[in-house]
């Protein structure tokens, strides 16, 4: 297992290197002079003063050197300084991380809560009207834009239920758990429904595949009751690969939080990035993109390891 973990972490290095290059280049491909962007159009300076500032900011060097400087600072937790607030970028991002993480986690919880029972039911009732309805429902769920679902929920639910749908009333979980969950419920549902459709389809086909196996037939042949065959023999093997799907969908969750936070005015990382984009505050944009990409990559490693832990065939295969 140790060798397996080491291998996975080692394979991570080129990806992380590539991610850092892409995020670095993203900002340096902005048309126009970075310094001019920073100063705005109000400040007039002599070319000599501009040159002095370039030297101070370290942007008079060639691009590879700037990249090396930047990565070096990343390792010290220095993600740059906001052009608007002049505050370091990283603490501001980390302060908003819990909001986005909670939203993603709740959405995943809701998705699993819907997908597992419905997917299992669909597989066990294969070919019936219920199965057909569930399959169509799954396809519809995949097709609805999450930000539109959010809009519809807001449209249908307000009035007496307004406390649930209150926008811009975010409270931290540890300050007021009930209030926090009430505010997070609609955003999490909007984000979770699509994911439920994805996972449900996967659960259904995975369970169908397992049910066709010899050992399931053997279990039935030796006279086990159906629920025991399903619970002890089929489900255990069918649900393990679902972990992988959840890993793939972490990207949907992390990207989706950006959009959903905007709809519900939640103070998460995504909203921070969107505000920064509208203010041309590129270091903040760069920081958020880097942090979310790192989270995504790490999630996938954790999922890989979890999968190997649950299914020894992966470790030794």
Residues in contact with other proteins by CB under 8 A are 14-15, 18-19, 21-22, 26-27, 29-31, 139-140, 142-145, 147-148, 151-152, 154-155, 158, 205, 208, 250-256, 258-259, 262-263, 273-274, 277-278, 282, 285, 289, 292-293, 296-297
Closest distance between other proteins and the C-beta of residue 208, in Å? 6
Closest distance between other proteins and the C-beta of residue 216, in Å? 16
Of 90 and 142, CB closest to other proteins: 142
Closest distance between other proteins and the C-beta of residue 183, in Å? 18
CA distance 305 to 314: 9
Closest distance between other proteins and the C-beta of residue 265, in Å? 11
Of 192 and 256, CB closest to other proteins: 256
Of 1 and 162, CB closest to other proteins: 162
Of 180 and 273, CB closest to other proteins: 273
Closest distance between other proteins and the C-beta of residue 174, in Å? 27
Of 114 and 291, CB closest to other proteins: 291
Q: Which residues pair with 81 in a beta bridge?
A: 88
* Contacts with 287 (C-beta within 8 Å, 6 or more apart), sequence order: 79, 80, 89, 90, 93
Of 114 and 150, CB closest to other proteins: 150
* Contacts with 310 (C-beta within 8 Å, 6 or more apart), sequence order: 240, 243
Closest distance between other proteins and the C-beta of residue 121, in Å? 16
């Amino acid at each position: 297992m140790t060798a397996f973990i080491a291998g996975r972490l080692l394979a991570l290095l080129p990806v992380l290197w590539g991610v850092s290059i892409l995020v670095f280049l993203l900002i340096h491909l902005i048309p126009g002079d970075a310094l001019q962007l920073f100063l705005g159009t109000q400040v007039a300076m002599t070319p000599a003063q501009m040159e002095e500032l370039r030297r101070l900011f370290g942007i008079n060097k060639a691009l590879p050197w700037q990249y090396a400087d930047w990565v070096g600072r990343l390792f010290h937790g220095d993600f740059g300084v906001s052009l608007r607030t002049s505050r370091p970028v990283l603490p501001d991002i980390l302060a908003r991380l819990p909001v986005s993480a909670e939203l993603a986690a709740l959405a995943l919880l809701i998705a699993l809560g819907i997908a597992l029972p419905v997917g299992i039911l669909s597989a066990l009732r294969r070919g019936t009207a219920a199965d057909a309805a569930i399959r169509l429902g799954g396809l519809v769920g995949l097709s609805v834009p999450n930000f539109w679902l959010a809009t519809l929920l807001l449209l249908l639910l307000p009035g007496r239920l307004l406390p649930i749908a209150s926008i811009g009333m975010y409270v931290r979980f540890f300050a007021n758990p009930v209030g926090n969950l009430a505010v997070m419920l609609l955003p999490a549902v909007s984000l979770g429904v699509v994911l439920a459709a994805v996972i449900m389809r996967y659960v259904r086909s995975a369970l169908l595949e397992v049910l066709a196996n010899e050992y399931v037939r053997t279990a039935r042949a030796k006279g086990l009751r159906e629920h025991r065959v399903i619970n002890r023999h089929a489900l255990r093997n069918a649900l393990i690969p679902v972990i992988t799907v959840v890993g793939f969908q972490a990207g949907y969750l992390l990207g989706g939080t950006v959009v959903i936070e905007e709809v519900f005015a939640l103070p998460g990382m995504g909203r921070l990035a969107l505000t920064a984009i509208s203010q041309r505050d590129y270091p903040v944009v760069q920081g958020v993109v880097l942090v979310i990409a790192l989270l995504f990559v790490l999630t996938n490693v954790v999922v890989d390891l979890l999968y190997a832990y649950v299914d020894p065939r992966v470790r030794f295969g």
